[in-house]
Amino acid sequence: MNGYFFSFEGPEGAGKTTMIGKLESFLRERGFDVMVTREPGGVRIAEAIRALILNHEYTEMDGRTEALLYAAARRQHLLEKIVPALEAGRVVLCDRFVDSSLAYQGFARGLGVEEVWKINEFAIDGYMPSLTVYFDIDPQIGLERIRQNREREVNRLDLETLSFHDKVREGYRKLAKRFAERIVVIDASRPLDDVFSETVATVLSRLEGSKRHFHESNRDDSCWT
Ligand code: TYD
């Protein structure tokens, strides 16, 4: 595998998708072969699963069903899109990956990070990003940004309570501490330009400095608390 696998995480309204778009242009201009993709989705089957999960009419969806569907979408997306791009030596920028499931389903839904990790371990079969950029923001500010940005669809998870989104943030912060080597925290409450320059610096340092493009999972199930 010659490519680079980077994921981007954050609560709603952190500006993650905007940052990925800007980063894509920046890297392309410098000659990198970049592929941007997103979860849940990215390929036909995963997009179909996405429509199922995020449909706000399905209020009866059980938490474990939700977690299994995210893991299933992840598996298909990984195999069809991410792995071939890494094999072709491309830089993969993935909008959300396994940490979303750990933070949203594991922590915020209360399913347990160990349990959610187990089903994801089965789904991803050793493929993990070498770098995860986590855009940290107070959910209240993030949700306010979404309300102002009317072009973005409101999905089933946006309709959760503020305390759910607070838990998502707490989950991400715990993950960032636990995986400090992989997860870089960026304060997304600052002006866009500042957030972008820090994002660029972080990504470039990994592109230039690291020969290890992706690594096998080395998570220790006993370390989640
Ligand atoms: P999306 O519209 O892509 O939101 P965003 O722009 O914030 O990424 O919707 C994805 C939603 O799914 C978002 O609320 C986070 C949630 N999610 C999970 O709960 N678990 C997961 O594993 C993933 C990938 C996403």
- The tens digit of pLDDT for each residue in 172-188 reads 999 999 999 999 999 99
Assess if residue 82 is contained within a domain.
yes
For residue 28, give its domain range.
4-216
Average pLDDT over residues 85-113: 97
Ligand 1 atom nearest the C-alpha of 39 is: 24
- The total of structural domains in the chain comes to 1
Please name which of 174, 98, 97 lies closest in space to residue 136, comparing C-alpha atoms.
174
Residue nearest to ligand 1 atom 14, measured at CA: 157
Q: How far is the CA of 40 from the centre of ligand 1 (A)?
A: 7
% the chain with pLDDT above 70:
88
Average pLDDT over residues 149-168: 77
Assess if residue 222 is contained within a domain.
no
Assess if residue 221 is contained within a domain.
no
209 band by pLDDT with thresholds 50, 70 and 90: low
C-alpha–C-alpha distance, residues 52 and 193, integer Å: 35
Instruction: Say which CATH number the domain at 20 has.
Output: 3.40.50.300
Bridge pairing between strands 4-9 and 91-95: parallel
44-96 tens-digit pLDDT: 999 999 999 999 899 999 999 999 999 999 999 999 999 999 999 999 999 99
Assess if residue 140 is contained within a domain.
yes
**Reported pTM:** 0.89
Q: How far is the CA of 207 from the centre of ligand 1 (A)?
A: 26
Residues within 6 Å of ligand 1 by CB: 12, 17, 39-40, 54, 70, 95-96, 100-101, 104-105, 155, 157
pLDDT above 70 (res 225): no
